[in-house]
Amino acid sequence: MRENNTIEPLPCTLLPSPVPAKLLRFVENIQADFNLLYHKVSLDHEFIESILKHVIPQDDYTAHLWKIYMNTRSEGVLQGVFLGLTRSDYMLHLDPAKERSNPTLAQRLLHTEQASAFAPDFSGENSWPNLSVRQVELNFIATSFGGLAQRMVLQHRLALSLCGFPPSAGERVPDCSAGDKFADALALAQKIYQERRNELCGETGNGSSHPAVLTIVSEQEKNIYDQRVTLSCLLLRHPNIPILVRSFEQFQENSDRLKIDEKRRLFVDGEEIAVVYYRHGYTPEHFSNDEIWNVKYQLERSLAIKCPCIQYMLVNTKLIQAALTKPENLSRFVHPASASYRNLLSTFAAQYPLSEKFGINSLDEINRVVQKCLANPHLYVLKPQREGGGNNYFGEDVPRMLRSVFDNGVSESYVLMERLYPYVVENYILNTPNSTERKKIVGELGIFGAFIGCGEKIFLNEQAGHLLRSKPVEANEGGVAAGFGCLDSPFLV
Q: How far is CA 457 from the centre of its chain?
A: 23
Q: Which residues are registered as beta bridge partners of 417?
A: 351, 381
Which pLDDT value is given to residue 204?
A: 55
Q: 485: closest CA among 119, 193, 148, 160?
A: 148
289 assigned to a ligand binding site? no
- By annotation, the residues acting in catalysis are 87, 137, 139, 144, 318, 383, 387-388, 469
Contact call for residues 462 and 472 (beta carbons, < 8 A): no
389 assigned to a ligand binding site? yes
pLDDT tens, residue by residue, 344-400: 999 999 999 998 988 888 999 999 999 999 999 999 999 987 655 557 899 999 999
Q: Which amino acid is at 288?
A: S
Q: 424: closest CA among 156, 92, 10?
A: 92
392 assigned to a ligand binding site? yes
- Burial of 463-473, coded b for 16+ CB within 10 Å and e otherwise, reads bbbbbbbbbee
Q: Is the pLDDT of residue 482 over 90?
A: no
Question: Residue 401, by phi and psi: left (phi above 0), alpha (psi -120 to 50) or beta?
Answer: alpha
Give the pLDDT mean for 224-231: 94
Contact call for residues 90 and 444 (beta carbons, < 8 A): yes
pLDDT tens, residue by residue, 83-140: 999 999 999 998 766 655 565 676 789 999 999 998 898 876 557 878 899 999 999 9
Compute the mean pLDDT over every residue in the chain, rounded to the nearest whole number: 92
Q: 264: closest CA among 299, 214, 232, 225?
A: 299
Neighbours of 375 (CB within 10 A): 9
Which pLDDT value is given to residue 481?
A: 54
Q: 466: closest CA among 41, 30, 116, 158?
A: 30
Residue 96, preceding bond cis, omega within 30 degrees?
no
391 assigned to a ligand binding site? yes
318 assigned to a ligand binding site? yes
User: Using CA atoms, how far apart are residues 136 and 318, in angstroms rounded to an integer?
Assistant: 10
31 assigned to a ligand binding site? no
User: Using CA atoms, how far apart are residues 178 and 153, in angstroms rounded to an integer?
Assistant: 11
Give the phi and the psi of residue 40 in degrees, each rounded to 5. Answer: -60, -40
Q: Which residues are registered as beta bridge partners of 86?
A: 449
Cα–Cα distances in Å, from 378 out to 386, 393, 476?
A: 22, 10, 11
Which pLDDT value is given to residue 7?
A: 80
Contact call for residues 216 and 277 (beta carbons, < 8 A): yes
pLDDT tens, residue by residue, 38-82: 999 999 999 999 999 988 998 899 999 999 999 999 999 889 999
Q: 249: closest CA among 212, 289, 282, 276?
A: 289
Give the pLDDT mean for 420-424: 90
Q: How far is CA 32 from the centre of its chain?
A: 14
DSSP assignments along 58-98, one per residue: T-HHHHHHHHHHHHHHHH-----EEEEEEEEEEEEEE-TTT
pLDDT tens, residue by residue, 151-189: 999 999 999 999 999 999 999 999 999 999 999 999 999
240 assigned to a ligand binding site? no
Q: Which amino acid is at 179?
A: G
239 assigned to a ligand binding site? no
How would you class 60 by CB atoms within 10 Å of its CB: exposed for 0-12, middle for 13-18, buried for 19 or more?
exposed
Angle ∠(263,282,136) on CA atoms, nearest 5: 125
Q: What are the start-end ranges of the H helices in 347-420? A: 363-375, 397-407
390 assigned to a ligand binding site? yes
426 assigned to a ligand binding site? no
pLDDT tens, residue by residue, 237-285: 999 999 999 999 999 999 999 999 999 999 999 999 999 999 999 999 9
Q: Is the pLDDT of residue 445 over 90?
A: yes
477 assigned to a ligand binding site? yes
400 assigned to a ligand binding site? no
Give the pLDDT mean for 9-14: 93
Whole-model pTM: value is 0.93
